[in-house]
Structure 1
Amino acid sequence: MDMSRLYNHLIVRRIGPPARKQPQQRNDRVALGKCETCFDERAPSDLVKFSCGHKSCYKCLEKFITGALRDESMFPPQCCGQPFEFDRFRIAPELYAEYHQKMIEWTAPKREAHDGACVIDQATKELMELAVKEGWQQCRKCERMVEKTFGCRHITCNCGHEFCYLCGADFLPWRCNCGENEYDPGAEEDEAAVEGDPRDQAIAVIGGLDADLIMIPSRILDRGESVLANEYHETLGGKGANSAIATYRTCHKRPLKDQGGVEYPGDDNIQVKMIGAVGDDRYGQKFIVELNENRVDVSGIVTVPDTRSSICFVMVETSTRENRCLFTLGATATWRKQDFSIPEQLGGGTRPDLAIAQMEIDKEVVETMIETAGKAGIDSCLNAAPATPIGKRVYRHVTHRLANESEAAIKSGRDRDEVNEESWPTIAQEFLNRGVRNVVITLGAKGAFYANAMGSDHCLAFDVNIEDTTGAGQVDFLGLLD
């Protein structure tokens, strides 16, 4: 017997035939990208990349475009100062048609200068006749026609030019060319009140616009400790932005999705305007789009070049849903006292009926706001957060003053544990003695304590499921508005 053949046969039987080469498994999962506006994850085909490098989903892209088509000051739609390249995007034909029409309407070149009188075409002639009939004014800088629907005669055009609506002349502080009389910003309001003519009311919310970077750990970490967070979110916030949206929703009818169109009671004649500052970054444009979507007037928002928007780092404890906030001012720090020295500046060019402020802005700037409002007879609401002491002379101009327990302790010179049911009336009375007309101390789950010249009381809180306390402090004053 050929032992070598037998040996080879046993080896083959023991080892077996050569193993088949297994095909490599294909990973068919497509890597997702993130929209830098809504922060949702999307397939690459559902994202567009702007020339500046930022990415957006098509839903947010349409919001950007729609917002720019509503407000000429935002046109053309852009990111980081660079206009969108529409030939690279898949957008609805009707939206592109509207964009093309606005491009013609808003960017058409002016007529070239020439000798002699201008030849006025029939359409222009009819427009000018209609303007005279309706009492419209024409901006001397950009030549746009302007119609005033409410407010004082001090007009700020979209191009930035300020003029008097009655005489059309350039507007100077407190004076115009309507005659020798000094300009009185409250004259029209007084006349309307005498005649019983209802007019729209304006609420100006002056405060911070912060991009919130939110970590949700199981507990708040101690000094020198590192804790793994369970969740991370990026969203838009800030005491100013939160207050503005909450104010609009409180004052206007709004259908409830889960109750088949039931409406909140409200007044459609109330305008809410946001007065704030953002940087020329991706967050700044998001704020304008989102506030527009929530029907807040954004004409009072200033974009500061070469500056970052304000950033707030938020920690939310999983078990209690209580939060801790750490923020940088960014563009919010650019406000100065002279920016709020006359009543019209409180409303971004128009005199408001109520000015709402927080302490996110420099203390001296806030004090100027309150004093300007008080001297002009404009109601003010000061949400004393973050806790920053203000000059005693300012309190007599404050109509409504709100503070939580920690802020009340700091402002009244007490320890936190000294703010309790026994001390609430004393703390409130101290601020009333300084000239504040209405004082509210918010107490979290215990409700709120209020006091004024008519009396005081403790209002218990509603029994609700706590999801997150972030932003809750900015809506406490809405009970006053309601």
Structure 2
Amino acid sequence: MLKSRSSIQKVLDYLERVFVSKKVSGEEMGQSVTHKANRKPIKSNTLTLHRCTGCFQNVPKSNLLTAPCAHQYCPSCLRRMSSTALKNPDMFPAKCCFQEIPTKALMKVMSSRNKQRYIVRWEENNIPPLERLYCPREKCSRWIPPKSTGTRLGYRVCPHCRAKVCSKCGDFFHLGWSCSHDSETKAMLQLAKENNWQRCSNCLYLVEKVDGCNHIVCMCGHRFWYA
């Protein structure tokens, strides 16, 4: 009788330990599931960042322009490079490693005013110096595009001051027989040679150096060596 009671007690103790163990593990499992369900998802940044060659800032790859030399620039640096090129004729067009940056790429980041200025300067820069025509009016002296008004009549109209300019000699428009393109131009060039005057290779104006060094900046913005 004592043995049977002892055996029964052992069985009860065993069942109690098993029941408690399962209950605890079930509660822990429920708490674990609840904890995972309440956890907020972590958003990962999928943008690929690259360093700009100009400002060394990390910028999304989609915002960078790859120049022909493989250097990459952000929009801010491209705007600064194009503005600098417009202010300095000897630095135009905008370049990197002596290679021109595509104009179409610069158009995407420039202001409307600078876009127009850049296009005009680019067109001027792509015409051989001896074929360019500049306004003879001293206060203007700006480049006249080949497709300006009056071309068929032997003159071009300056789009800036509306002056009529002879297409042959670059002087103010005059009658054909009085054009200085031949005899008078030759005489002037001979006089320039005798007085050691130099001619700007960009706008063809005659320049006389009074003093200073031989580095000359013409009124058209072109730089050349006087000697």
Q: What is the TM-score when the length of structure 2 is the normalising length?
A: 0.47
> Bigger radius of gyration, 1 or 2?
2
The structure carrying a bigger helix percent of its residues is: 2
* TM-score normalized by the length of structure 1: 0.25
Which structure carries more strand by proportion?
1
